[in-house]
């Protein structure tokens, strides 16, 4: 108890002095009073000084645990991303169009050549608050994924999952075939299923383990041949509207209804070359897992993976099955990371969900139909693909604003599942490295928008709550821009920031 030594001795001296004071004869007390009073006063003054000085001389009290830091003072381990727009009051004032234009016109300017078009609307009433060429058809780049998100959520359903199965195939002699059937999950992982992840939610190691258990139950002892069934998707695996250079650079790859890591060799690498046959790549990974798991069971998995001829019989025994993350989770990932391969897959799956061919043409038709059924005008809209990689796409800023409005406040509540997928300015997804300079930092954490970028094209469509608490939707699109010009993205970001700060009455 080193830290209390000085304090205890001080208390003892004070007690002794008081005891002596009250045990003196009265005459002596009178004579000693001045000296005793001085002693008491000095002791009282010294006591707190001793309390303060003692720790410095004797060291800290090791017996007293340091006070715990309150939880609210700790740095959070992760950001809490809201799943929907918070409750808003419809009584908040609607911005005055002239005031909005006065704020936007000075900042919505191109750096060099080209033009910006844009539309801002009140989300609740649909009132147009700003319109600069908003009805003009434009190349939208990856803003096309907003249309695909709407189609997938409506046609497939937010909670739907895609199944990847291993089924018993026909045998030749003593060899038994195991067929890996693609069901639209292109986010497969090679390892065990990871239930709290979207990429890798369904794992081929898990599927292999289930398959081996079924084969052992059936008493199989002969060799096993792995085949792949990728017949769900039809038509060309590459869209002719895509530039071969973009495909070679890894912006896109041939489409199949099963793939590892959204057709990436490594889930941590989102650029560079992709597998050109993701179905066989997934089949080879499954065969490797089947061989590893089956070794202890005496299974002999043959080298090489082929394609099954025709679809497996309808009554083929299911040996194992794994399911993907939900469609709403996949839509969020698509929007956050602007994943072209996943977008095209979701477009084809939307077509399949309504009984149409799961092809390029089927995906485009599915998107247009869902927009029309939603009541969004498609006049002048040209859909060349559903990811935005094609330069032949044509969509207006007004059409995008209406799509965002349908997501945020439309009658079809299934579309609310896409809200969390919009990147947050300065924090998540494709906006994580933007909104960091003086002209845009006030929009960080407030603006939520889908980005779009091609060589001479940029776009930004999303939503924001203004300074008065009014929910606004917007779309800004730049075409014919000077490639590499540094000021164009900041101009769009500054425009959205203006809306966040706007109390434009």
- The catalytic residues are 142, 145, 338
CB 437 within 8 A of CB 431: no
> How many whole angstroms separate alpha carbon 46 and alpha carbon 14?
10
Contact 140, 395 (CB under 8 A): yes
Of residues 257, 239, 246, the one with CA closest to residue 384: 239
CB 343 within 8 A of CB 262: no
- Phi and psi, residue 478, nearest 5°: -110, 130
Question: How far is it, in rounded angstroms, from Cα 447 to Cα 498?
Answer: 10
3-class SS at 238? coil
| 85 in Cβ contact with 448 (< 8 Å) | no
CB half-sphere exposure, 415, CA atoms < 13 A: 20
Q: Of the candidates 74, 45, 72, 54, which has an alpha carbon nearest to the alpha carbon of residue 7?
A: 54
Concatenating the DSSP letter of every residue in 152-178 gives HHHHT-TT---EEEEEEEEEETTEEEE
Q: Which two tokens stand for residue 445?
A: 């954490």
How many angstroms separate the CA atoms of 42 and 471, rounded? 70
**Dihedral (CA of 2, 8, 10, 16) sign:** negative
What's the CA gap between 342 and 145, in Å, rounded?
A: 10
Query: To which H or E segment does residue 102 belong?
Result: helix 97-104
């Amino acid at each position: 108890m080193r830290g209390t030594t000085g304090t205890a001795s001080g208390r003892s001296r004070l007690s002794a002095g008081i005891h002596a004071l009250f045990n003196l004869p009265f005459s002596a007390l009178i004579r000693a009073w001045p000296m005793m009073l001085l002693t008491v006063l000095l002791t009282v003054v010294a006591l707190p000084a001793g309390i303060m000085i003692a720790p410095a001389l004797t060291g800290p009290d090791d017996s007293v645990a340091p006070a715990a830091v309150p939880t609210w003072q700790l740095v959070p381990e992760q950001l809490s991303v809201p799943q929907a727009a918070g409750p808003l009051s419809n009584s908040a004032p609607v911005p005055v169009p002239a005031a909005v234009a006065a704020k936007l016109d000075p900042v919505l300017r191109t750096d060099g050549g080209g033009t910006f078009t844009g539309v801002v609307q009140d989300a609740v009433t649909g009132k147009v608050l700003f319109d600069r060429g908003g009805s003009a058809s434009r190349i939208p780049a990856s803003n096309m994924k907003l249309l695909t998100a709407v189609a997938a959520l409506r046609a497939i359903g937010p909670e739907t999952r895609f199944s990847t199965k291993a089924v018993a195939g026909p045998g030749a002699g003593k060899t038994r075939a195991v067929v890996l059937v693609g069901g639209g999950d292109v986010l497969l992982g090679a390892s065990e299923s990871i239930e709290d992840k979207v990429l890798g939610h369904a794992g081929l190691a898990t599927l292999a383990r289930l398959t081996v258990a079924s084969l052992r139950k059936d008493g199989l002892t002969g060799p096993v041949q792995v085949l792949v069934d990728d017949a769900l998707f039809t038509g060309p695996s590459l869209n002719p509207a895509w530039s071969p250079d973009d495909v070679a650079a890894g912006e896109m790859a041939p489409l199949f209804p099963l793939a590892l890591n959204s057709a990436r060799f490594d889930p941590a690498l989102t650029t560079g070359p992709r597998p050109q046959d993701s179905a066989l790549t997934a089949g080879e990974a499954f065969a490797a897992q089947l061989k590893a798991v089956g070794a202890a069971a005496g299974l002999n998995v043959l080298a090489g993976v082929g394609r099954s001829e025709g679809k497996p019989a309808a009554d083929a025994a299911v040996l194992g099955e794994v399911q993907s993350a939900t469609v709403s989770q996949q839509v969020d990932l698509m929007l956050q990371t602007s994943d072209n391969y996943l977008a095209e897959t979701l477009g084809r799956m939307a077509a399949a969900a309504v009984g149409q061919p799961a092809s390029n043409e089927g995906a485009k038709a599915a998107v247009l139909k869902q927009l029309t059924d939603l009541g969004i005008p498609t006049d002048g809209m040209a859909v060349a693909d559903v990811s935005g990689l094609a330069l032949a796409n044509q969509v207006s800023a007004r059409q995008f604003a209406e799509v965002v409005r349908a997501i945020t406040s439309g009658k079809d509540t299934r579309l609310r599942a896409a809200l969390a997928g919009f990147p947050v300015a300065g924090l998540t997804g494709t906006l994580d490295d933007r909104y960091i300079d003086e002209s845009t930092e006030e929009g960080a954490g407030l603006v939520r928008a889908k980005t779009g970028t091609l060589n001479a094209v940029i776009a930004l469509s999303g939503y924001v709550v203004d300074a008065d608490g009014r929910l606004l939707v917007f779309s800004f699109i730049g075409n014919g821009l000077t490639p590499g010009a540094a000021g164009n993205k900041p101009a769009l970001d500054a425009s959205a920031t203006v809306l966040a700060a706007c109390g434009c009455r």
